[in-house]
Structures are given as C-alpha cells and as structure tokens.
C-alpha cells in the first residue's frame, strides 16, 4: 500500500524585514572582503520603523561606511524611505581569545564549536527538496515582476508557502500555494490576485498544479503596511528557508554576517557540497551529513552520513570515501570553495543552496567520478552542468 505524506516549505522576498537584516550583515562582510580578504566578521542587524541597529565583532584593515552600506541595501531592494532611517553602529573589535584559536593555529582552527548539516536529494534538478525550491522561485519571481513593473502596485515585502503531496517519498502534486504580497493602497486586490496567478504562479508551478490545488493570495484581503514599518527584522531569523525548508536538519547557527572562519557558514556549505556530490554520483537518492567542531581545533570532532536507506553501497563505505576525498578543516574548506571572495550578499535572499551561480562553489558536482571510484562503482556518470552566473534582480 502506498504511503502518502505532505510537506510544506516557505520563503520570503528580499524586502522582508528579516531578509533586509541578512542582506545588510552580508553587505558589510562583502565590503570588508573587497578591501581585506583576511577580515573577520560577525555582524548582526536589527531593523524596525525608521531605525537600524548594527552590532557585532569585526577584525579588519578595511575602512567601511556602515551607514551608507545599510542605506544602499534598502535602496536596491526598493524602499524609497532609505534616507529616513536612524542608524546606530555598535560594531566592536573581535575578542583576542577567539582570534588566537583561529589565527595562531597553522591549520586554522574552527572559529567556534558547533554542529552543521548538509543535505541533498534527487527530487529536483537542483538536488533540493521540491517545496523549498518552488517557494524560493515564487518569491524571487515576485521581486522580479515588482522591480520590472510587470505587475504594478507592488511593494517590497512578501512571502510564499508551498505544500507538496508525496507518494512513497516522491513528489506528485502541489496541494496548496500561499502568497502574501505587499501592495499599494490603490491596487485592486482582485486584479492583483489574477496577475500573480498568471505571471508568477503559473510560470513557476504549472507542472505541479491541478484543479485540486488551492491558491491563497493575500488571504486577509489587504497587505498595505509591511516591511520594517510593520514588523521588526533580525539577522539570522530565517535559517530554515536559508537551507532546506525544514527537510533535512539544521545545526542552529545562522550564516549571514559571518566570514568563512566561522564554521557555522563554511562547514555548512562544505556539507552541502559533499551531500550533493554523493547524490549526483547516484550513491544515494537522499543524503544528510553532520559535521561538528571544537573552537580552535581544525579537525572535525565527528562526521556522520545518513542516506535514509537509499544508498547503493554501505554508508560506511561512503563515509570512508568522503573522508579520503574531502578535507573538512576550515582552511581547506575556505581554499577549496574560494570563500574569501565578496560573494555573500546575494546568498542572503532566496536560499543559500540550489542556486545556479558560479560564485556558489558549494553547488559544484565535480567529485562524482572520484566518489564512485572509491565506492567501487563504474565511473560512467558525468558531472551535471556547473553553476554559472545567476541573473541578479
């Protein structure tokens, strides 16, 4: 008898208050890295009506204008009141106790203790769960039609939610789509719903929807007051949509505002890279990797691989192959994935994984042949197309 399950994931647009904060934090990091690739950064941001508070710890030779960086983020998103915000800068120097654990270790120790997860599955071409990929594509499309005025009367804040029906672990249809899109007072809600269905939902979800799919757009009938005026935002509060939408576990550490010496970010990217290569190599249909660290120590304290009983060879053999091919020490991760480049602001919207962009080096599937060889399988599978430059909004 077939097993039927349902799963829902959500995404938010770049104009959502939490995502504004993620983008400001990562814009500060990128600005530092452009001037000093050895910068250390752990930047947090809070935004509310007419106020932005930026705090955290940094170590850099860069000269940065935090106020201008924050205003530029708001302006580029589409907030016309970007000059009306009071900005409080509470950045301070990184603790030397933390710095010595990273800088005084020739192999570069982990910037903190912690545990991180990576995940991949074969249900989409991006090797991502279907609900989160569709949710991200919907919010990105909402921003596109707003910025290009394809749909008029839209404002920056918005959300999407996608519910998918699975039969025996395979996605078969979308059961529900929820869209919340901020709009001008003058916009017609009926016309708005019609245009969002036609120009956003159908292009993204048409393959998966049918007459039974329920679509809810601005279900309260009004979404005029939004963004920081309506809701306080914080850096790192959308970690589930940053990763796998709730499918696959999360270690708890946020990414945005952290340079790659922080394994919360770099090791999570590495774990995704390894899990994706395992699935792309057809060693398993689904793979989750956990890695953990001690502050100041380069070598992980543990690496665990779970294929959910979908592997073609034993998990023990896959684990041995991973340990032979991939180096999880922080410096090795940074070097292999080129994580000293100023590439992080664009990760702060629409997910850190499943993106077709050459800077998202953790999305490469360039270890397929090595993995199959180490696992005793024929090396006949070619790598999927490598990430290329993703169109920026």
pLDDT 10s digits, 83-105? 999 999 999 987 666 555 566 55
Which residue in the block uniquely carries the two structure tokens 């499309």? 141
3-state SS class at 366: coil
Report yes or no: 129 and 121 within 8 Å, Cβ to Cβ. Answer: yes
- The confidence score (pLDDT) of residue 112 equals 81
Instruction: Find the helix or strand (DSSP H, E) in which 215 lies.
Output: strand 214-217
Q: Tell which phi-psi region holds residue 222, choosing left (phi > 0), alpha (psi between -120 and 50) or beta.
A: beta
- The confidence score (pLDDT) of residue 101 equals 57
Instruction: Find the helix or strand (DSSP H, E) in which 91 lies.
Output: strand 86-93
Which residues does the chain have with pLDDT short of 50? none
The C-alpha angle 14, 67, 53, rounded to 5 degrees, equals: 70
E strand spans, 224-361 = 233-234, 286-293, 302-306
- The confidence score (pLDDT) of residue 99 equals 57
CA distances from 110 to 157, 198, 270 (A): 36, 48, 14
> What would the two tokens of residue 331 be?
């410096």
- The confidence score (pLDDT) of residue 67 equals 97
- The confidence score (pLDDT) of residue 388 equals 57
Domains of the chain and CATH, by start: 4-13+130-228 (3.30.300.10), 17-98 (3.30.300.10), 114-123+237-374 (3.30.300.10)
Strands 233-234 and 86-93: unpaired
């Amino acid at each position: 008898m077939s097993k039927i399950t349902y799963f829902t994931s959500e995404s938010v647009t770049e104009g959502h208050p939490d995502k504004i904060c993620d983008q400001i934090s990562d814009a500060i990091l990128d600005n530092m890295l452009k001037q000093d690739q050895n910068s250390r950064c752990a930047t947090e941001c809070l935004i509310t009506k007419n106020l932005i508070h930026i705090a955290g710890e940094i170590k850099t030779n860069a000269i940065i204008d935090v106020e201008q960086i924050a205003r530029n983020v708001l302006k580029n998103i589409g907030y016309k009141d970007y000059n009306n915000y009071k900005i409080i800068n509470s950045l301070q120097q990184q603790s030397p106790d933390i710095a010595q654990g990273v800088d005084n270790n020739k192999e570069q120790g982990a910037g903190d203790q912690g545990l991180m997860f990576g995940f991949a599955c074969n249900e989409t071409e991006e090797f991502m769960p279907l609900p989160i990929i569709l949710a991200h594509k919907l919010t990105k499309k909402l921003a596109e039609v707003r910025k290009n005025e394809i749909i008029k009367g839209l404002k920056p804040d918005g959300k999407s939610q996608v519910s998918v029906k699975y039969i025996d672990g395979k996605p078969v249809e979308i059961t529900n789509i929820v869209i919340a899109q901020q709009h001008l007072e003058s916009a017609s809600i009926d016309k708005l719903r019609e245009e969002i269905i036609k120009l956003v939902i159908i292009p993204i979800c048409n393959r998966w929807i049918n007459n039974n799919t329920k679509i809810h757009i601005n279900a309260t009938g009004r979404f005029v007051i939004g963004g920081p005026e309506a809701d306080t935002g914080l850096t790192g509060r959308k970690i589930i949509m940053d990763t796998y939408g709730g499918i696959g576990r999360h270690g708890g550490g946020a990414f945005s505002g952290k340079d790659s010496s922080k394994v919360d970010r770099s090791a999570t990217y590495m774990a995704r890279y390894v899990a994706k290569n395992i699935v792309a190599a057809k060693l398993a249909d689904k793979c989750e990797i956990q890695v953990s660290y001690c502050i100041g120590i380069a070598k992980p304290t543990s690496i665990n691989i779970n294929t959910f009983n979908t592997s073609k060879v034993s998990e023990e053999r896959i684990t041995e192959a991973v340990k032979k091919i991939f180096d999880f020490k922080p410096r090795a991760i940074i070097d292999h994935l080129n994580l000293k480049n100023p590439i992080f602001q664009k990760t702060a919207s629409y997910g850190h994984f499943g993106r077709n962009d050459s800077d998202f080096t953790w999305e490469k599937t360039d270890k397929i042949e090595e993995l199959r060889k180490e696992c005793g399988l024929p090396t006949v599978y070619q790598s999927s197309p490598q990430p290329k430059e993703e169109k920026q909004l």
